[in-house]
Structure 1
Amino acid sequence: MTVRLDAISIVAADMAASLSFYRRLGLDLPADADAAAHVEAVLPGGLRVLWDTEDVVRTYDPAWTRPQGGDRLGLAFRCEGPEAVDALHAELVDAGYRSHLAPWDAVWGQRYAVVLDPDGAGVSLFADAQ
């Protein structure tokens, strides 16, 4: 039996707000997807990112409730360089998204920052230190 990671799923309270955030991170998502209950984007290499509204999740898991507390899964977006981490972090914060961790030089040799998506999930921005 062969198993491979095929998709990462995101549950969105507000589909349009979630897709707007991820468009700013370079994902190609059509504008008409904002009103959809389920959206898929295929990344280079074939990995898919899936979005479902909370209402869709409750159709197959009626007991589902919005998670509380810290992240259980995180997405990390590689930037071109340390300056790009700072610039993208500033762009997202200027657009009204919340910074969780301002850019810093991490001990593991990367420039790193974390911004919260519209549902409060931490999204890492990073680049190799130069």
Structure 2
Amino acid sequence: MIAIDLPATLAFYRALGLDIPAEADTAPHVEADLGGGIKLMWDTEETIRSFAPDYEPPASAGRIGICFEFDSPAEVDKAYADLTAAGHQGGKEPWDADWGQRYALVRDPDGNEVSLYASLS
């Protein structure tokens, strides 16, 4: 992901439980190991322009969609409440979805939609 404000973006993902060290806030490139060979990575716009000088960010928000699974519906509610209380934009408050999950939508500081969910059973 390309972050507009890297420290704000990393704080958002830390609030969702990712292990990102504080010193990463000043790095030009950050990686979080999600296990199973999967990594989530962030770069500043300046880093991208260092090898792609003509880079222009997208005109609208929502560069990716990402999901975080929780162990219980109560944890979804708490994560949504904590994130929106911290000033992050809520997309849709938690609800019991027809497909059997407690589900909520929130946006990270770069406008990416983040789904929060847990099984209802």
User: What is the TM-score when the length of structure 1 is the normalising length?
Assistant: 0.86
User: Within 2, Cα distance between the matches of 1:73 and 1:52?
Assistant: 14
Deviations 1:23-43 (A, max 9, x none): 011111111110011011112
Matching residue of 1:61: 52
User: Within 1, Cα distance between the matches of 2:36 and 2:17?
Assistant: 15
Matching residue of 1:20: 11
Q: Which amino acid aligns with 1:29?
A: I
User: Within 2, Cα distance between the matches of 1:60 and 1:29?
Assistant: 25
Matching residue of 1:87: 78
Q: How does 1:1-130 map to 2 (within 5 A)?
A: 10-69=1-60, 71=62, 73-130=64-121
Matching residue of 1:6: none
Q: Which amino acid aligns with 1:27?
A: L
Question: What's the Cα RMSD here?
Answer: 1.3
User: What is the TM-score when the length of structure 2 is the normalising length?
Assistant: 0.92
Structure 2 gaps of 5+ residues are none
Whose RCO is larger (CA < 8 A, sep 6+)? Answer: 2
Structure 1 gaps of 5+ residues are 1-9
The percentage of aligned residue pairs carrying the same residue is 49
How many equivalent residue pairs?
121
- Structure 1 position 129, deviation (Å): 1.2
